């Protein structure tokens, strides 16, 4: 059978528990406030970054206005309607241009002339798969 506590002990224990609850509540409030400030800082930084990126998108969009979209560009060789890849050419005509430039450079380095077909010429018996770029 539990002993009956004295009123004085109960009173001081009650005061202690009340004080403890008060202190813990204060500390919890301070911790929440600290974390809320840190959270607000991060949110504000992200909002600023988002505004910067939105402005950048606007600038790029304005700069691109009036130009055909990258996907809409076509090869500059007459009769070729392949999508653009580099230097105004489609993948095939770009590779042909690079190959020809390499042949010319190699021949020059060897002190020779490049004697392969001139641009636009077809080798006898060979029909190019795509129109020549020159």
Q: What is the binding site for Zn ion (CB under 5 A)? A: 75, 77, 80, 82, 90, 93
In the complex, minimum distance from the CB of residue 125 to Zn ion, in angstroms, rounded to a whole number: 22
* Residue number, 16 or 99, with CB nearest to Zn ion: 99
In the complex, minimum distance from the CB of residue 70 to Zn ion, in angstroms, rounded to a whole number: 16
In the complex, minimum distance from the CB of residue 82 to Zn ion, in angstroms, rounded to a whole number: 5
In the complex, minimum distance from the CB of residue 75 to Zn ion, in angstroms, rounded to a whole number: 3
Query: Going by C-beta distance under 8 Å and a sequence separation of 6 or more, which residues neighbour residue 103?
Result: 114, 116
Nearest-CB residue for Zn ion = 75
* Residue number, 77 or 100, with CB nearest to Zn ion: 77
User: What spatial distance separates the first Cα and last Cα of the chain, rounded to whole Å?
Assistant: 110
> Quick one: 107 exposed, middle or buried, by C-beta within 10 A (0-12, 13-18, 19+)?
middle
* Residue number, 39 or 99, with CB nearest to Zn ion: 99
For the record, the structure tokens of 100 come out as 């020809």
Q: By the 8 A CB rule, do 132 and 120 touch?
A: yes
109/116 Cα distance (integer angstroms): 16
* Residue number, 82 or 117, with CB nearest to Zn ion: 82
């Amino acid at each position: 059978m539990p002993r009956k506590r004295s009123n004085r002990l109960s009173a001081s224990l009650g005061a202690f528990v009340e004080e403890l609850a008060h202190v813990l509540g204060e500390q919890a409030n301070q911790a929440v406030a600290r974390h809320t400030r840190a959270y607000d800082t991060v949110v504000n930084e992200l909002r600023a970054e988002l505004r910067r990126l939105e402005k950048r998108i606007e600038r790029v969009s304005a700069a691109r206005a009036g130009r055909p979209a990258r996907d809409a560009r076509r090869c500059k060789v007459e009769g070729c309607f392949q999508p653009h890849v580099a230097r105004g050419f489609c993948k095939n005509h770009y590779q042909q241009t690079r190959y020809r430039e390499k042949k010319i450079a190699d021949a020059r380095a060897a002190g020779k002339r490049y004697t392969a077909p001139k641009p636009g010429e077809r080798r006898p018996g060979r029909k190019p798969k795509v129109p020549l770029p020159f």
